[in-house]
Amino acid sequence: MSTTNGGSQNPWQIFRRFWPEVAPHKGLLCGGAATLFLEVALRIIEPWPLKYLVDSVLTPSLEGNYRGTHAPLTSIATLSLLYCVVISLRAVAAYFNTLCFAHLGQRVVKRVRSRLFSHMQKLSLSYYASARHGDLVIRMIGDVGLFQDVMVTAALPLAGNIVVIGGMFLVMLLLHWKLGLISICLLPALYYMTVRLSRRIHTAARRQRKLESSMAASVSEAFASVATVKALALEQTFGSLFSQGNEKSLKEGVTVQRASAKLERSVDFLIGIESAAVLFLGGWFVLEGELTIGGLLVFLAYLKNAFKPMRNYSKYCARLSKAAAAGERIIEILDAVPEVEDAPDAVVAPPLQGAIEFRDVSFGYESGQQILSKVSFHAPAGCHTVLLAPSGTGKSTLLSLLLRFYQPDGGDIRVDGLSIAKLRIDSLREQIAVVLQNTELFAGSIRDNILGGLTDVSEERLHDAIVTSQLAGFISSLSDGLDTLVGERGVTLSKGQRQRIAIARAVVRQRPILLLDEPMSGLDPESQKLVSDAIRMLAGRATILHVTHDLRHAASADHIVVLDEKRVIEAGSHLELMALNSRYAGLYAIQQAGFGECRQ
Ligand code: ADP
């Protein structure tokens, strides 16, 4: 199984995980930080013109020191201008730091999404077997977006504000150390309350995010199987499941809101007490002549500014918690380790002929489980080999092992004598074409679906693929021919048509190995004949490994491998197996009696 080691991480750990995406944009980070520090410095300077106005101009003026001169007016004008310059500069610095952080956030999110997507593509099928697709989409799009949004609009400015608070308290201590100490003394209480309540918010926000994602997964599953839901009248079941999820999410949302409101109001309350204490003691110090009126004004302005980030933190706490939860969910995916990876010494596969050999291959999807036990057989190069076994025996599993979707628990699989475990996975898969039981098409034209991203295919090669897959008649009956659009997942086509498009897709690739996984199952007799004609036309062009539980396709094959009870029980040509007069011959006789049409 692919593994994850995600869990609760603190914001710093989360940030560190995304550092590789931030590091290439050091310019933007430094620009943002520099303008942030400038803004901080200007915020610290901001109340000082007021102090000078009160202490050096207004008070002496009211005391009559400037009577008959224009000095106070000039000073007032100068200080007002200075105030205006400080505020304007601060606005410019704030603009640039928002801009830098917003750009940084956008770039980082782009890189995180790309990294996440390419990592997800490397994950093994076992990961996808246990993951919910809707949840993955939410993580990929919603969580990454939310993480970036909150980091840029809340976390980075808040981090900057910590510097503001530090700077302001330092100046307060220098200005009047007693009042400074009184201002600081409530900080531990604020810190304690914030940490305690924000933990609660964080837990509820994480649960809410999980529930929202699970709801999205249910919705996507209900949409994906809308026909089954309708046919089985499961609308109400899905509806009530959705409502339950919705209800739970609402409850968590209320918990988050309640804790946030409590935090916000508690912070307000403490700030109120603190401001009253500073106002009272500050007033007293002014009366005692220990502090000037201007000094008290600076103090009050600083307190107001210093407490703003704390208020903001309590306001943003729920969003920050959701972002941290989103970050954790992204990290959970990034931490998932692909079960099957290239060996360190893996080499690029040479052009293959396609002689396939399974040697004592054992496998189970879970530990302790055994689906295949020491399976050994070979499929000669260029031949059509049929793997025959009852459903659920492990035929498709064998193909998955050959494609290296999973790692065998024991034994070895070889192609042209080379162990596939020693070949680069992409170079192996590039030489294999597959037609599955249920073909899913992509939204686009029939041409797009056959070419599937190939760009250098000649019209002759495409035409050959269409003829070989028995699609020519069908395509010419369409007014737009090859350019006819098919719905997402091919819903506008019949299963037989989809299967033949899949065969054309395989043929056009001209790969030496072709894997067919019960491509005719569930088809009507007419479609079965068309598909089976298509397969017959492929004979000799590639090594075909065809899994089926239907004997009618076996008789015409070059080689037949019969599996049962987790292992190969007999193998050979139709005639050889008939001569053995064992399992295959017995089944063939029954089928002959039942259908009377084994050979196609
Ligand atoms: P066949 O192709 O012969 O019908 P499969 O290879 O699809 O059989 O499956 C063999 C067995 O493995 C079945 O019992 C099936 O339930 C189980 N199986 C198949 N895929 C998975 C999976 N992804 N996880 C766990 N068990 C699986």
- 545 within 8 A of 516, measured Cβ to Cβ: yes
307, 451: one domain: no
Residue 34 lies in a domain: yes
Query: Which of 12-16, 209-213, 246-250, 282-286 bottoms out in mean pLDDT, i.e. has the lowest?
Result: 12-16
- Is 445 in a helix, a strand, or coil? strand
**What are the tens digits of pLDDT across the range 459-478?**
888 888 888 888 888 888 88
Question: Is the pLDDT confidence value at 161 over 60?
Answer: yes
316, 447: one domain: no
316, 452: one domain: no
The percent of residues in the chain predicted with pLDDT above 90, rounded, is: 15
Closest-CA residue to 522 (of 544, 489, 487, 498): 498
Question: What is the rounded distance in angstroms from the CA atom of residue 124 to the CA atom of residue 406?
Answer: 7
Question: What is the rounded distance in angstroms from the CA atom of residue 139 to the CA atom of residue 214?
Answer: 11
Residue 594 lies in a domain: no
Residue 2 lies in a domain: no
Q: Which two tokens stand for residue 352?
A: 């293959």
571 has which bridge partners? 561
For 26, the domain range is 11-334
The last residue of one of the domains, among 334, 350, 381, is 334
Q: Into how many domains does the chain fold?
A: 2
Q: How confident is the model at residue 6 (pLDDT cuts 50, 70, 90)?
A: very low
* Better-scored residue on pLDDT, 484 or 526: 484
- Is 116 in a helix, a strand, or coil? helix
Q: Which two tokens stand for residue 310?
A: 């704390």
330, 464: one domain: no
**What are the tens digits of pLDDT across the range 414-433?**
999 999 999 999 999 999 99
Residue 405 lies in a domain: no
What is this structure's pTM? 0.70
Q: Are strands 513-517 and 432-435 parallel, antiparallel or unpaired?
A: parallel
Helices (H), 123-186: 125-130, 133-137, 144-150, 156-175, 177-185
* Better-scored residue on pLDDT, 64 or 133: 133
Residue in 363, 367, 371 to alter for ligand 1 test, most ligand atoms within 8 A of Cβ: 371
* Å from CA of 91 to ligand 1 middle: 64
Residue in 366, 397, 518 to alter for ligand 1 test, most ligand atoms within 8 A of Cβ: 397
Across the range 243-266, mean pLDDT stands at 86
Query: Which of 239-253, 310-324, 422-436, 572-586 bottoms out in mean pLDDT, i.e. has the lowest?
Result: 310-324
Question: What is the rounded distance in angstroms from the CA atom of residue 576 to the CA atom of residue 571?
Answer: 8
Question: What is the rounded distance in angstroms from the CA atom of residue 199 to the CA atom of residue 254?
Answer: 15
Question: What is the rounded distance in angstroms from the CA atom of residue 327 to the CA atom of residue 36?
Answer: 24
CATH code: domain of residue 505: 3.40.50.300
Q: What's the confidence (pLDDT) of residue 284?
A: 93
Q: How confident is the model at residue 59 (pLDDT cuts 50, 70, 90)?
A: confident
Four-CA torsion 200, 202, 206, 209, nearest 10 degrees: 110
Report whether residue 372 contacts ligand 1, using a CB cutoff of 6 Å.
no
- Alpha-carbon distances, residue 225 vs 220, 222, 491, 498, 524 (angstroms): 9, 5, 12, 18, 22
Give the single-character DSSP code of 3. Answer: B
Across the range 406-420, mean pLDDT stands at 93
Q: How confident is the model at residue 69 (pLDDT cuts 50, 70, 90)?
A: low
* Å from CA of 397 to ligand 1 middle: 6
Report whether residue 395 contacts ligand 1, using a CB cutoff of 6 Å.
yes
Q: What's the confidence (pLDDT) of residue 21?
A: 84
Residue nearest to atom 19 of ligand 1 (CA): 397
467, 322: one domain: no
Q: Residue 430 half-sphere exposure, CB side, CA atoms within 13 Å? A: 11
Residue 568 lies in a domain: no
- 562 within 8 A of 530, measured Cβ to Cβ: no
* Better-scored residue on pLDDT, 162 or 417: 417
- 503 within 8 A of 534, measured Cβ to Cβ: yes
Q: How confident is the model at residue 506 (pLDDT cuts 50, 70, 90)?
A: confident
- 600 within 8 A of 537, measured Cβ to Cβ: no
The last residue of one of the domains, among 451, 479, 510, is 510
Closest-CA residue to 470 (of 523, 522, 511, 515): 523
Q: What's the confidence (pLDDT) of residue 270?
A: 84
Residues 6+ apart with CB under 8 A from 364: 370, 371, 372, 409
Residue 190 lies in a domain: yes
Helix-strand-coil percent breakdown of the chain, rounded to 5? 65, 10, 25
Across the range 94-116, mean pLDDT stands at 88
* Å from CA of 367 to ligand 1 middle: 14
Closest-CA residue to 74 (of 91, 53, 54, 59): 53
* Å from CA of 441 to ligand 1 middle: 23
- 528 within 8 A of 520, measured Cβ to Cβ: yes
The last residue of one of the domains, among 476, 510, 544, is 510
298, 446: one domain: no
Residue 77 lies in a domain: yes
Question: What is the rounded distance in angstroms from the CA atom of residue 230 to the CA atom of residue 228?
Answer: 5
* Å from CA of 395 to ligand 1 middle: 8
Q: How confident is the model at residue 91 (pLDDT cuts 50, 70, 90)?
A: very high
Residue 430 lies in a domain: no
φ and ψ at residue 231, rounded to 5 degrees:
-60, -35
Ligand 1 atom at minimal distance to the Cα of residue 398: 6
- Alpha-carbon distances, residue 241 vs 175, 212, 427 (angstroms): 62, 13, 44
What is the residue-wise DSSP string for 455-493?
A: ----HHHHHHHHHHTT-HHHHHTSTTGGG-EE-GGGTTS
Across the range 188-216, mean pLDDT stands at 82
Report whether residue 283 contacts ligand 1, using a CB cutoff of 6 Å.
no
CATH code: domain of residue 60: 1.20.1560.10
Question: Which H helix or E strand runs over 327?
Answer: helix 293-335
